[in-house]
Chain A
Amino acid sequence: MLKSKKTRDPPCIAPPLLPRNRSTPNSAYITRTLLPRNRSAQTGETISWVIATLVIVGILILFIYASTLMAKIKVVTFKEVKSDLTEESKVLNGKTNLANIILNNKDKEIIEVILQNDE
């Protein structure tokens, strides 16, 4: 809510209403001109914000790099599609097993070794 003019705080300006007498100089103007301008606090705060900005930018670059690496491994494999797929249930293994059963093959192990060597 807006305050009425009567209740509003007095404006923060240099006191012009003090008597402009050379014998009693304006104390506000004296302090403003004579006080040394120490800006070390401002400088410190600025440096900390600059470092904070650099840290933010650094973290962002790290995250972008991480997302690039994650994007590279967006490869969908057969096992991801059928998570219950085991080595035994591979289509080609099924065919080999079927042929072994038909022939009542006693050299199953040898054939398996041959097939594994090919892979």
Chain B
Amino acid sequence: MGIINNKRGDKILSVYWFAVLLIIAGGIFGMVYVFYGTPYDVREIEARVLTNQIADCISYTGRINSNLILNGAVVENNNFLEQCHLTFDSTEWEEEQFYFYVEMYRLQDLDKSFLEIEEGNLNLAVSCSVQENKEQENLATCLKDSFYSLDDANNQYVIKILTAVRKAEKNVKI
């Protein structure tokens, strides 16, 4: 009868249940923290939007902007960023977080570029070459696209656009 009165086992079991409860609660907290602590990566969308903006600036209605190419010749001293209403300087970031490189090829001569435009943070160009081999989320997200257009003299061009968006701190958990 004296053994029945001993409640030590019950106490140990209560502590055990409390410990199990804590472990499960900690696990759920860990899962939620890991999932919701990781930011959404929207750099691909930003790169796509930048590409579309540049493409609109180069050729809006199937014809190349006459401020860039006129009568089959390159117009010098064109301020591309200003023309395209693009501002890469931001007070939020110490250095520029965007980069783009536009190459325009004549359809007759696809080996040699007719016009090249490069703006933004040049360091990001290196990221793009690295990303081609292996995707590194801490580096800039790059996007390559190309389209076909005509100038006012009906010369045909293939336009290649490479855009890079860094902003790793806001899009990737570092």
Q: Which residues of A contact B (CB under 8 A)?
A: 12-15, 28, 32, 42, 49, 53, 56-57, 60-61, 63-64, 67-68, 70-72, 74-78, 81, 91-93, 95-96, 98-103, 111, 114-115, 118-119
Contacts and interface: CB of A to CB of B under 8 A. Distances in A.
Contacts of A95: 55, 59, 62, 147-149
Given A92-B146, A115-B147, A63 B31 contact: yes
Given A49-B16, A98-B61, A101-B62, A13 B2 contact: yes
Contacts, number: 120
Q: Which bucket holds chain B's interface residue count?
A: 35 or more
Interface of B: 1-5, 9, 16, 20, 23-24, 26-27, 30-32, 34-35, 37-42, 44-45, 48, 51-52, 55-56, 59, 61-63, 107, 110, 144-150, 154, 156, 158, 160, 173
Contacts of A15: 1
Contacts of B160: 118
A63 B11 CA distance: 30
Contact of B1 (A28, A75, A92): A28
